[in-house]
Amino acid sequence: LRISQFGGEPAVIDLISRICDGQGRDDLVLGIGDDAALVQVPGDDLLIITTDLLIEGTHFRRDIIDPYSLGWKSVAANISDIAAMAGTPTYTFSSFALDDVEVDFVENLYQGMTDCAKKYGSRIVGGDTNISQGSQVINITQLGTAPAGQAILRSGAQPGDRLLVTWTLGDSRLGLELLLKFGLEKATDINICAVDAHLRPEPRIAEAKAAAATGKLHAMMDISDGLAADLPKMCAASGVGAIVDTLSRAISPIVRGGASGVGIDPTVLAVQGGEEYELLMAVPENAVDSVIKTVADATGTQVTAIGRITAERDVLIEGTDGSRTPLRGGWTHFEKQQ
Amino acid sequence: LRISQFGGEPAVIDLISRICDGQGRDDLVLGIGDDAALVQVPGDDLLIITTDLLIEGTHFRRDIIDPYSLGWKSVAANISDIAAMAGTPTYTFSSFALDDVEVDFVENLYQGMTDCAKKYGSRIVGGDTNISQGSQVINITQLGTAPAGQAILRSGAQPGDRLLVTWTLGDSRLGLELLLKFGLEKATDINICAVDAHLRPEPRIAEAKAAAATGKLHAMMDISDGLAADLPKMCAASGVGAIVDTLSRAISPIVRGGASGVGIDPTVLAVQGGEEYELLMAVPENAVDSVIKTVADATGTQVTAIGRITAERDVLIEGTDGSRTPLRGGWTHFEKQQ
């Protein structure tokens, strides 16, 4: 059954509402169905807002992502922006323009969105539904809150700070390369960990809060476009440079083992990745151990030092032979890829 | 100069930031440039959120709308949803996926967005920028506020209520028909009022607040899909029906005069329109005069009674001969148009 045969927009909205319904939040005043949604924001909290537009062909390809994962990942990418500010996700607004897909597709898409939102304490309460003649399009707007003065920006990095990342880098890019080379089914057979890292990323909400609670973070952002694209953004916002000198510590055995299978150097997978959704933090030297231990104790997630912030504005990476070269690559819009 | 030659994503974001910058709001903590935006919401207010996805081919055609109007209208449609709740617009988030257009196009698009946002007290503080291989896509997320208990929903209409609309109906549809038949330039020459109604609608923020301040409104929504599509939504949400019996009062001389030129009956233009962004209100009989006068005194905008709410669930329109037929037509997604 296709959505054009399903009973029109009201039937599709009913279907979505049923999937999205569930464990409520007591600050929701009005959800799906009116001109807009209404929520309460506690008076002492700041509201955090982020929005992402995902276009088929540019951000995803239907042949290498299943609808559930597409829904999950769309929401996860936005919740990750809330994590990047050390915030708490609250509400998710999901809009789509789909061609005349099977109703199943919509159900699985929204189940993925809903499961991801709920896992991180958010709830889908609105959006917009459309049929598109061309590419599929998804837009997520994610709200969150943070107590005033406690949101962590990307602009506070200082020379001498150490650069920390949560978990490991390159797994998502390895997953993507496997998907491109072997397709969804075979890639999953070959390396389900790397494929999962790409298709169902886990935003680092708990890790961000634990790290921020130390009161020691100077700057934080999430790695959504790859280290080589995102570290320069933190540096530009902070008016500093950086040198990445111990990246290998953050490269997992999965990436080391899988790199040859896709013919790409593990370091390239780690710096020119994207959609990692790991956190990049700038922390003063004397607080590094405390941040690492606090995050590990609270979440079990490892945090690894990969470099440091410099006064010179260059963003460099140091090879194993001690040579330094500009850190390049990573995902940017408005430039041709590959 | 095309955006792919303009200096990448940072240059495009800089350009947009310069256009969007201007008269600030003192509750903005952090705007464009970090992972997310941060704003304050006064403790007693509810937050209103609405979001719209606009797809080229489905919602707009580049040959019959100029970039400035496209920007204006995208924001206006969302601010209208805030008006529909009797709220105050605060912040606008604008995302796009464009093909490799001229930088001029982006400038004019954002100037239109910015001018519309500012006119209604909002400010563009975030979004997402992409290059698309296929159709152009714009997503607007609009925030607003309303004091707790003062937002007006669409679900409160009661049998016996009169149905009021702001201004007139059909002008936007007439403008669309002229644009489709004659193209942008010639249609503007023929009837600039109708074309303006379609391309640069004016959301009824002040009218909604004036009407709501009477304390007499039972229900309100904006007419974005045409009266014949939207009145049934208000009736369904309220568990009532309606009869439209004096529609002709809300049909302007512009629509009467222009209808023959596009070969469509004025009544059809008025009920099967869409993108009117006028307000539809359900008001108890004894408050009709007070609402009409209050809105006129505060804004100069006429409000017209066009029908009434009934206990029977049918939504009907009465012809000049007294015959009653179901109110049909109007814009719906998920069904083939025309």
Q: What's the pLDDT at B95?
A: 92
Q: What's the pLDDT at A63?
A: 93
Minimum-distance CB partner of B139 among A37, A91, A139: A139
Q: What's the pLDDT at A80?
A: 97
B8 contacts chain A (CB < 8 A): yes
Which strand (E) or helix (H) includes residue B210? helix B205-213
Residues of A in contact with B30 (CB under 8 A): 151, 153
DSSP code string of B7-64: SHHHHHHHHHHHHH-SS--TTEEE-TTSSSEEEE--TTEEEEEEEEEEEBTTTB-GGG
Which strand (E) or helix (H) includes residue B232? helix B227-238
pLDDT per residue as tens digits for the range B103-120: 999 999 999 999 999 999
Whether residues B48 and A42 touch (CB distance < 8 A) is answered with: no
Q: Considering the entire predicted model, what is its pTM?
A: 0.91
Strand (E) positions, B169-230?
A: 219-223
CB proximity under 8 Å: B 121-150 to A:
125-135, 137, 139, 141, 143-144, 146, 148
- Among B80, B220, B90, B221, CA closest to B146: B90
Q: Is A240 exposed, middle or buried (0-12, 13-18, 19+ CB in 10 A)?
A: buried
Cα(A287)–Cα(A244) distance, integer angstroms: 19
Which strand (E) or helix (H) includes residue A192? helix A192-199
Give CA separation, A110 vs A71, A92, A107, A196, in Å.
6, 12, 5, 18
CB proximity under 8 Å: A 60-89 to B:
81-82, 84-85, 87
Which strand (E) or helix (H) includes residue B137? strand B137-147
In this prediction the ipTM stands at 0.88
Structure tokens at A234: 């933190």
- Among B220, B80, B222, B85, CA closest to B148: B85
Q: Which residues lie across from A123 on neighbouring strands?
A: A91
Considering chain A, what percentage of its residues have pLDDT values greater than 70? 95
Q: What's the pLDDT at B284?
A: 98
B38 contacts chain A (CB < 8 A): yes
Buried b / exposed e across B136-173, counting CB within 10 Å, b at 16+?
Answer: bbbbbbbbbbbeeeebbbbbbbeeebbbbbbbbbbbbb
Q: Which residues lie across from A74 on neighbouring strands?
A: none
**How would residue B227 be classed by pLDDT, with cut points 50, 70 and 90?**
very high
- Among B213, B251, B253, B234, CA closest to B308: B234
Q: What's the pLDDT at A19?
A: 84
pLDDT per residue as tens digits for the range B47-105: 999 999 999 988 899 999 999 999 999 999 999 999 999 999 999 999 998 888 889 99
Minimum-distance CB partner of A36 among B3, B48, B332: B48
Q: What's the pLDDT at A332?
A: 52
Mean pLDDT of B33-41: 80
**How would residue B236 be classed by pLDDT, with cut points 50, 70 and 90?**
very high
Cα(B69)–Cα(B52) distance, integer angstroms: 16
Residues of B in contact with A131 (CB under 8 A): 58, 333-334
